[in-house]
Structure 1
Amino acid sequence: MGKKMKLGLHTYTLHLWGLGQNWGIVADPRPKQMNLIQLMDKAVEWGLDGLHITGCDLETKDDERLREVREAARSRSLYLEYNCSRDEEFDPRLSDGVEAGIRIAEKLGADLTKLSLDIRRPRPLYGSCFHPEVMRQLCDCHDEVVAALPLLERTGIRLALENHTETFADEIIWLIEKINHPLVGACVDTVNSMGVLENPESAVTKLAPFAFCNHFCDHKLDRDQFGIRFHGVALGDGDIDCFKTYRTIQELSPTDRITFEIEWDMGDDSLEVAREKEMDACIRSIRYAREVLKIGT
């Protein structure tokens, strides 16, 4: 029997509502249909323990706004984790860099900053693990994190390096081991490894022992005469073995939190229809996490 886990929500789950990140549509950002404080009220209604939030959700990053968000979360007994990037390609509102991301997390009352490394890989993707062009970028990441270690030590914030859609698990582990500091670990995303054609189960197993946090996702692999497509669905509706993945994280990871994320695919639906389907998938995922995976029991 593994340890009891809390359940949190990555705000990207409701990206069609203007939360999380406007992935790939920076030229035409979607207006917010729900703000962060309203989402906090929903989180309480849904029985969640916390939120994994981004700069997109904050709207502004001045001290007054960060204090407002911190107090709103505390009054609702919600933990916060802060998600940021070194150099986000599609939505610059997520780009803070290492030290700024740590300072924002501290002011939010969050105990963790999740960092996307935003590696620009050469082609082809497969077989490019530890490519010289990648290593130069990883060394830059190393130097930036090492420079921020005194800040981590002063604040007690943990820094989690994500296997984002452009990094192999072994590259994240190499970086963590080279930095070699107890406040620097991983964020394991359960589907992102597909972005570099890496087996998702293998990536989760490798990263879980280092993982301070996670993005717990399910994707479905569709195949037709033109090829394959991997797209986001509600937990339990896809091809990720959620039971096995959950047990791996529960047993091997130092965290006691599962942060679920849905990368909902709107397909040919209108934005209005897709938005409602995304909300339904969010609610169904919470039910699946609680009733099927038994998270929190």
Structure 2
Amino acid sequence: MSNYDRPIQLGMHTYTLHLHGLGESWGFSEDHAFDQSIDLFKLMDYAVEWGLDGLHVTNVDLVSLEPEHLAKVKKAAEDHGLYLEYNVSFNAPCDPRVNSTVKDALLNAKAIGADLVKFSLDIDRPHPLYGSSFDPDVMKQLSKRYDEFKENLPLLDELGLTMSIENHCDMYADEVIWLVDKLNNPNVGACVDTMNSLNVLEGPEECIKKLAPYANCVHFCDIKLVVDPDGLHSIGCPIGQGDIDTAKVLRTLREKSNVKRITFEVESEIGDKTLEEAQENEMKACKESIDYLRNTLNVGLKNR
């Protein structure tokens, strides 16, 4: 079997249903105060129903980091036949509940049976953004992140985990590559988010091409770019319905990377809708994305 034809599993980032109380960015401030309507265990039921192979989860989904609860999550994932990946941040701008140290993240990942930990670095970038790759202030922050990662590489290897560093909304591809290269460990790679590069004025196609050879995790996203009298807007949408050429992205990942999983992520907003209407639209976008990824892009192993 060629590298291009290899099977790729299909997973979902829980943020896809954040308006239902998953992922992050809800329930911790007055602006986003609503109750959770789907918990992680119910989501596992849905994942099986939808034929997903795994879930990409956060501390918000786990609710509790007590050992007994983490063991319960691990057993539930095993019983459902799902792999888990664990998503954490250092200093998340939207939801502090997802923050963690490297050591705690590795230990918690092992406790829930996850095999990969994805880190957002939360770098405070200078402005203007244009041309700020490898800015001295950025490099000072990256050096601190490097020190913490480096200190915990023996634990990473001991636990048999994989670490992934994301081009989150504050990182250029070359900066991610620099950090991965410096850590120089076969269990450390890059998480490729297919739209985040726009947040630092970097073209998605060039970013994806650069990061693909280093990739061990993918956040597969799509957006619509809309220009109106109020300016330029980036609007989340179901996979395959926006301005990211998702078929081309997948070809690039198949040709230039060895990734074995695609984690799709859809960003939905409440906007001027009621919460109930927004939740209905969010669930619809989730199901449409799964249908497109499986039946058009041929991603996913289950129910084939």
TM over 0.5: yes
Which one-letter code corresponds to 1:282 in the other structure?
A: C
Partner of 1:60 in structure 2? 64
| Structure 1 residue 26, shift from structure 2 partner | 3.7
Query: Which of 190, 193, 208 does residue 189 from structure 1 map onto?
Result: 193
| 3-state DSSP of counterpart to 1:161 | strand
CA distance in 2, matches of 1:130, 1:23: 33
Aligned alpha-carbon RMSD (Å): 1.3
CA distance in 1, matches of 2:27, 2:200: 18
Identity percentage of aligned residues: 51
Query: Which of 20, 23, 26 does residue 17 from structure 1 map onto?
Result: 20
CA distance in 1, matches of 2:87, 2:34: 19
Moved more, 259-268 or 134-143: 259-268
Contact 2:19 2:26 (8 Å CA) reproduced: no
Contact 2:27 2:33 (8 Å CA) reproduced: no
CA distance in 1, matches of 2:89, 2:145: 11
Aligned counterparts, 1:148-167, within 5 A: 148-167=152-171
Contact 2:88 2:99 (8 Å CA) reproduced: yes
Moved more, 21-30 or 80-89: 21-30
1:263 paired with 2:237, answer no
1:3 paired with 2:30, answer no
Which one-letter code corresponds to 1:236 in the other structure?
A: G
Q: Deviations over 1:47-71 (max 9, x none)?
A: 0000000000000111011100000
Aligned counterparts, 1:158-177, within 5 A: 158-177=162-181
Contact 1:22 1:30 (8 Å CA) reproduced: no
Which one-letter code corresponds to 1:181 in the other structure?
A: N
| Structure 1 residue 100, shift from structure 2 partner | 0.8
Partner of 1:220 in structure 2? 224
| 3-state DSSP of counterpart to 1:88 | coil
| Structure 1 residue 25, shift from structure 2 partner | 6.3
Which one-letter code corresponds to 1:36 in the other structure?
A: L
- What are structure 2's unaligned runs of at least 5 residues? none
CA distance in 2, matches of 1:26, 1:261: 23
Aligned counterparts, 1:66-105, within 5 A: 66-105=70-109
| 3-state DSSP of counterpart to 1:137 | helix
Query: Which of 250, 254, 278 does residue 250 from structure 1 map onto?
Result: 254
| 3-state DSSP of counterpart to 1:115 | strand
| Structure 1 residue 23, shift from structure 2 partner | 6.2
Partner of 2:182 in structure 1? 178
Partner of 2:49 in structure 1? 45
Q: Deviations over 1:195-238 (max 9, x none)?
A: 11110111111111111111100000001133211111001110
Which one-letter code corresponds to 2:219 in the other structure?
A: H
| 3-state DSSP of counterpart to 2:211 | helix
Query: Which of 112, 125, 128 does residue 124 from structure 1 map onto?
Result: 128
Which one-letter code corresponds to 1:207 in the other structure?
A: L
1:147 paired with 2:151, answer yes
Q: Deviations over 1:152-175 (max 9, x none)?
A: 110011110000001111100011
CA distance in 2, matches of 1:119, 1:197: 15
* Structure-2 change in CA distance of 1:63 and 1:261 (3 Å): same
Aligned residue pairs, count: 297
CA distance in 2, matches of 1:262, 1:236: 11
What is the TM-score when the length of structure 1 is the normalising length? Answer: 0.97
- What are structure 1's unaligned runs of at least 5 residues? none
| Structure 1 residue 253, shift from structure 2 partner | 2.1
Which one-letter code corresponds to 1:257 in the other structure?
A: R
| 3-state DSSP of counterpart to 2:93 | coil
Which one-letter code corresponds to 1:16 in the other structure?
A: L
